[in-house]
């Protein structure tokens, strides 16, 4: 499809989504959110897509946040509608059933930070700045930031980031567990692509069930979470990927997973 705000690609199981609004540092408006949700839903059901990489155009910003010009004119009802739309996009990313890697190539603020937190893994350049600055605009995070940030870094750190509104460095974000890895800016693309290619060689079904067990089990008791894990392992035992993986190990060769 032709998109106005994003570009997409697919190469050997790795799909790429690039937010392309460099004139506003890739800020999110209604059109961008709609296109991002549309392509996310398409990739979720596309068997050729095994891993998704999400990044921003250029070297200044991943996503600098929501479009402030649009926010400034919203009515209360419109603001709630926009929040629910942004939350739906984040939920679709989180629940895609495939690993989504955020390649944070610059500012990831507000809605950009929230989009990144909905991804499976977050790799940032050493020049990236990450935060939830909504309070400085008289706003609060609306795309799930109050919930995902707290779950990732704990109450104290999350409240400090949100109440001060001050962005933190990539190194600090890594130290508190907000991102998975920090790499030199010039190496970001290569590092992310290498990780994406590696993940694309794993069993799609095993990755799907790992994501489901972690996501759905998080709010359960340990007993219920372990029960979910056992059920999903039982499902895997009925698949071709299970047989291929164990057979390949015994035959001392690389497995060829088909996702069936």
Mean pLDDT of the region 206-213: 96
**C-alpha closest to that of 195 among 26, 57, 13:** 13
Q: How do residues 41-91 score in pLDDT, each as one tens digit?
A: 999 999 999 999 999 999 999 999 988 888 889 999 999 999 999 999 999
The residue segments making up the domain with residue 92 are 6-200
Q: How do residues 113-145 score in pLDDT, each as one tens digit?
A: 999 999 999 999 999 999 999 999 999 999 999
pTM value is 0.95
The total of structural domains in the chain comes to 2
Mean pLDDT of the region 180-188: 97
Domain shared by 133 and 86, yes or no:
yes
Could you give the residue numbers annotated as active site? 114, 134
Alpha-carbon span 71 to 75, nearest angstrom: 9
H helix or E strand, kind and range, residue 56: strand 51-56
Domain shared by 15 and 104, yes or no:
yes
Domain shared by 23 and 147, yes or no:
yes
Domain shared by 191 and 212, yes or no:
no
pLDDT band with cut points at 50, 70 and 90 for residue 25 = very high
Mean pLDDT of the region 21-31: 93
Tell me, what's the pLDDT at 71? Answer: 86
Domain shared by 86 and 152, yes or no:
yes
Domain shared by 96 and 174, yes or no:
yes
Domain shared by 150 and 246, yes or no:
no
């Amino acid at each position: 499809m032709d998109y106005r705000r994003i570009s997409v690609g697919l190469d050997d199981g790795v799909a790429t989504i690039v937010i392309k609004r460099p004139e506003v540092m890739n800020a999110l408006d209604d059109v961008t959110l709609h296109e991002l949700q549309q392509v996310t839903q398409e990739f979720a059901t596309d068997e050729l897509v095994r891993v998704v990489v999400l990044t921003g155009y250029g070297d200044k910003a991943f996503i600098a946040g929501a479009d402030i010009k649009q926010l400034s004119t919203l009515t209360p009802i419109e603001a709630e509608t926009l929040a629910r739309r942004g939350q739906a996009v984040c939920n679709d990313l989180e629940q895609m059933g495939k690993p989504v890697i955020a390649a944070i190539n610059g500012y990831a603020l507000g809605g950009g930070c929230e989009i990144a937190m909905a991804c499976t893994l977050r790799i940032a350049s050493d020049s990236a700045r990450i935060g939830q600055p909504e309070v400085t605009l008289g706003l609060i995070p609306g795309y799930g930031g109050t919930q995902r940030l707290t779950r990732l870094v704990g109450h104290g750190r999350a409240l400090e980031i949100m109440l001060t509104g001050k962005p933190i460095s990539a190194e600090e974000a890594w130290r508190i567990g907000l991102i998975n890895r920090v790499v030199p800016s010039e190496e970001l693309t290569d590092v992310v692509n290498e990780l994406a290619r590696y993940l694309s060689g794993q069993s799609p079904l095993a990755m799907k069930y790992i994501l489901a067990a972690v996501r759905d089990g998080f709010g359960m008791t340990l007993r219920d979470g372990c029960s979910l894990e056992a059920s999903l392992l039982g499902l895997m035992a009925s698949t071709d990927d299970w047989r291929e993986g164990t057979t390949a190990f015994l035959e001392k060769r690389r497995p060829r997973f088909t996702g069936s």
